[in-house]
Structure 1
Amino acid sequence: MDVLPGGTATFLLLFGLFLGAFAVRSALRLIRVLRLVRHGQHVEGRCSDRRVEDRGSGTENRYRTEYVFAFRTPDGREVEFTDHAPGPFGFEVGAPIRVTYDPADPSGRATVAGPGAWGPLLMPAVFAVVLGLFSVGLIAGFAAML
């Protein structure tokens, strides 16, 4: 029984496009972080908080850890932000870290990516490459079925 019109070919196309969208999203995140690391302003910051979120007993990864970082801009403003995947081992609260931010929008565009914390660059790169390869394979499978 075919669930979708066109059966397997339609599934390959839709799933390939779906994974491709996530690959593009990860690639855009990687580009934004790389641009920020290269052209942003570097300051000394710290890990200000580590929050553990309980997602409930029905989920595969029940607990999720979120790291909050803080830094002070040259004009004296204290800015806090969260960053994706700070690293494999995380940070202790109060640990110093290099922060890179956009002076035009310090609270909206800041990252800890760089020496000592490659997670914000590594994770989007892995997702973009792996999902991109799967997407290309699925779309090539669709094209072969035509």
Structure 2
Amino acid sequence: MQVIPGGTATFLLLFGLLLGAFAVRSALRLNRVLHLVRRGERAEGRCAERRTVDRGPGAERSYVTEYVFAFRTRDGREIEFTDHAPGPFGFEVGAPVRVSYDPSDPAKHATVAGPGAWGPAVMPAVFAVVLGGFAVGLLLGFVAMRGWI
């Protein structure tokens, strides 16, 4: 009895496409972060809060540390945002950071990536490369099973 119509080939195709979608999402996140680092407005900010968030009972790591950063835009607005862990040890509350942001929407498009805090750029790059590699391998397996190569 086949659970999936088409069997293994269909599984390879669907799982490869799923991983590929996550790889593309990570690559887009990396592109956005690098764009902000290169062309965004800069401001001095600080680590406003370091909190532990419960991911729920079904998660493998049920608690994760989340960093909230705050900065003031050129026009005087106080903005708070969360960003990926800036490095292996993170920041202490009150630590100064350099923020790069998009002046048209600073609350949505801001990062602390840059000298001393490359975590927000490294993590999406790692996910894009690793998941992209697995996706390519699975899709090549699908193509080989179908006899197209």
Q: What TM-score do the two structures reach when normalised by structure 2?
A: 0.94
Q: How does 1:36-47 map to 2 (within 5 A)?
A: 36-47=36-47
Corresponding position: 1:84 with 2:68: no
Rounded Cα–Cα distance in structure 1 between residues aligned with 2:2 and 2:131 = 26
- CA offsets 1:24-80 (integer angstroms, 9 cap, x no match): 000011111111110001111000001111234553212111100000112221110
Once superposed, which parts of structure 1, at least 4 consecutive aligned residues long, lie more than 6 Å away?
A: none
Q: How does 1:102-117 map to 2 (within 5 A)?
A: 102-117=102-117
Gaps of 5+ in 1: none
Gaps of 5+ in 2: none
SS at match of 2:103: coil
Quickly say closer, same or farther: Cα 1:140–1:31, change in 2 above 3 A. Answer: same
SS at match of 1:89: coil
1:63 corresponds to: 63
SS at match of 1:81: strand
Rounded Cα–Cα distance in structure 1 between residues aligned with 2:56 and 2:14 = 31
2:3 corresponds to: 3
| Range that drifts further, 76-85 or 94-103 | 76-85
Rounded Cα–Cα distance in structure 2 between residues aligned with 1:116 and 1:138 = 36
| Range that drifts further, 19-28 or 46-55 | 46-55
1:101 shift after superposition: 0.6
Q: What TM-score do the two structures reach when normalised by structure 1?
A: 0.95
- CA offsets 1:79-125 (integer angstroms, 9 cap, x no match): 10001222211110000010001111111110000011101100000
SS at match of 1:2: coil
Give the fraction of aligned pairs with identical amino acids, expressed as a percent: 77
Rounded Cα–Cα distance in structure 2 between residues aligned with 1:39 and 1:83 = 18
- The size of the alignment, in residue pairs, is 146
State the Cα RMSD in Å. 1.1
Rounded Cα–Cα distance in structure 1 between residues aligned with 2:85 and 2:49 = 14
1:121 corresponds to: 121
